Chain A
Amino acid sequence: MPIRCEIVSQDRMVWSGEADMVVVPGAGGEMGILPNHAPLLSTLKPGFIKVVRNGEEEVFTVTGGVVEVRPDKVTVLADASEHVAEIDVQRAEAARKRAEELLKKTPPSAAEHLAAQAALQRARIRLEAARRFRPKRGPQIQSGPAEDED
């Protein structure tokens, strides 16, 4: 029996469908959710959501949020989420560069520092998702020169 899965962000329904297993980055670590899971509410850490069905994997990025699990349904309330195929690598790369530069300069305020750090993290998740989970076919998308994290 498959489990129903819905991923919603504030401004749209990102994905909905049936799944055999859903893996989410829960507050206490990665969580694989199978059908008939006990009811659970958990916050999410930035990371990837994997939806497995018929042996195939759909991967989404998520920057945080809450997941609600019921025996027959998983609902992800995401801050921001997108399918790997939707990721604009160039934009993510540009965002990462911008954030890194902001962080290098002495930041004028704590709030800006935090915002830049958050932006950097978002960009990194996107880039990593694109690198790891994009199907390798057709012309490879150039994801910029450096993959190093510091």
Chain B
Amino acid sequence: MATAREVKLRIRSVKNIAQITRALQAVSASKVQRAIATVEATRPYATKAWEVLTHIANQPGRDQMHPLMTRRTEVKNVLVALITSDRGLAGPYNTNILRYTFRKFDDYPVPVHYVTIGRKGREILHRRGKHIVADFSGVPDRPKFADVSHIGHLLVEEFLSGKADEIYLVYTDFVNMLRQNPTSKKLLPLEVEDAGRVQDFAPTAGHKPLAAYIYEPDEVEILNEIVPRFTQLQVFHAILESQASEHAARMVAMKNATDNASELADALQLEYNKARQQSITSEMLDIAGGAEALAQAMAAAARKAAGG
């Protein structure tokens, strides 16, 4: 049994930990809100760009599609952009997204290359011997579009140069504070028929694109302008969703840690009380024993004096 003093020290350190985890919990909670607000801010552009894209793509009599929107007949290489966090202590966040990635792409029929966004993913992929084309760790906490647009730029280049025939974006979709889903989405070629995406950027109702547009200078130029931006925007969007998820996961993990720490502190407090009780008891026994011995010695002395 530990002494009262030792237990007291442990209680203090556990309480300190609880204080830190509680602070981290509060910080993460506010970061989730901010990330969600930023996601919302990307919506007007995304909705409008999507509307214009589908409109041009669905024009009758279009002889050739934009290169970024053309599905390749033979897929020889696949590129996966994987978004994880730079920092740990985020509960199951990184494990979940990595497990999802490996389940989906480990037995893929064609070679898979990776672009990692986030240090944790890079480390694990590296350890597993995956081929990493590029790494974009250290995305700032409150990214602006300009901070991450180069990632989308690189992905577009990889696709256009033919190094990758399909590009997937693997990220964590933020559902709510308690639920974050690992998700993947085909980034390129951009498929406008893709129903899943329409859900994301559904145009506002009653706002059908008009039939006949004047194009200036021409459709191809307009697509050249919009498609890469839209791709970058999707990457930006995914990063924000992932960050919201990361912070939510961290918040929950920190809440659990705080709860555990208080529980432990309570248990230790009991132990401390017991130890304290015990030391008092033994001290009292010592005193009582000493007093008894003293009394006996005195009685013996008194008897000796009386008898002598």
Chain A contacts to B: CB under 8 angstroms: 6, 8-13, 26-28, 38-43, 64-66, 68, 70, 75, 77, 79-80
The B interface, classified by DSSP as helix, strand, loop or mixed, is helix
> Beyond the given A10-B45, A42-B214, could you list 19 further A-B residue pairs with CB under 8 A, ordered by the A residue number?
A6-B48, A9-B45, A9-B145, A10-B42, A10-B145, A10-B149, A10-B229, A11-B236, A27-B216, A39-B210, A39-B213, A41-B52, A42-B215, A42-B216, A42-B222, A43-B221, A43-B222, A65-B229, A77-B48
Q: Which residues of A contact B213 (CB under 8 A)?
A: 39-41
Report which of A13, A43, A70, A79 forms a contact with B41, defined as CB distance below 8 A: A13
Q: Which residues of A contact B38 (CB under 8 A)?
A: 11
Also in contact, A8 and B222, with CB within 8 A (given A39-B210, A41-B216) = no
The smallest C-beta distance from B142 to any residue of chain A, in angstroms, reads 11
Q: Which residues of B contact A43 (CB under 8 A)?
A: 216-217, 221-222, 225
C-alpha gap A26/B145 in the complex (Å): 24
C-alpha gap A79/B144 in the complex (Å): 13
Chain B contacts to A: CB under 8 angstroms: 38, 41-42, 44-45, 48-49, 52, 56, 144-146, 149, 210, 212-217, 221-222, 225-226, 229, 232-233, 236
11 A-B pairs with C-beta separation under 8 A: A6-B44, A9-B145, A10-B149, A12-B41, A13-B41, A40-B214, A41-B216, A42-B217, A66-B222, A70-B210, A77-B52
B41 near A64 with CB under 8 A, answer: no
Q: Which residues of A contact B225 (CB under 8 A)?
A: 43, 64-66
Q: Which residues of A contact B212 (CB under 8 A)?
A: 39
Q: When A and B form their complex, what is the total count of cross-chain residue pairs whose Cβ atoms lie within 8 Å?
A: 77
The A interface, classified by DSSP as helix, strand, loop or mixed, is strand
Also in contact, A11 and B42, with CB within 8 A (given A26-B216, A28-B217, A77-B48) = yes
B215 near A8 with CB under 8 A, answer: no
The smallest C-beta distance from A4 to any residue of chain B, in angstroms, reads 12
Q: Which residues of B contact A42 (CB under 8 A)?
A: 214-217, 222
C-alpha gap A10/B232 in the complex (Å): 9
Q: Which residue of A lies closest to B147 (CB)?
A: A11
Q: Which residue of B lies closest to A64 (CB)?
A: B225
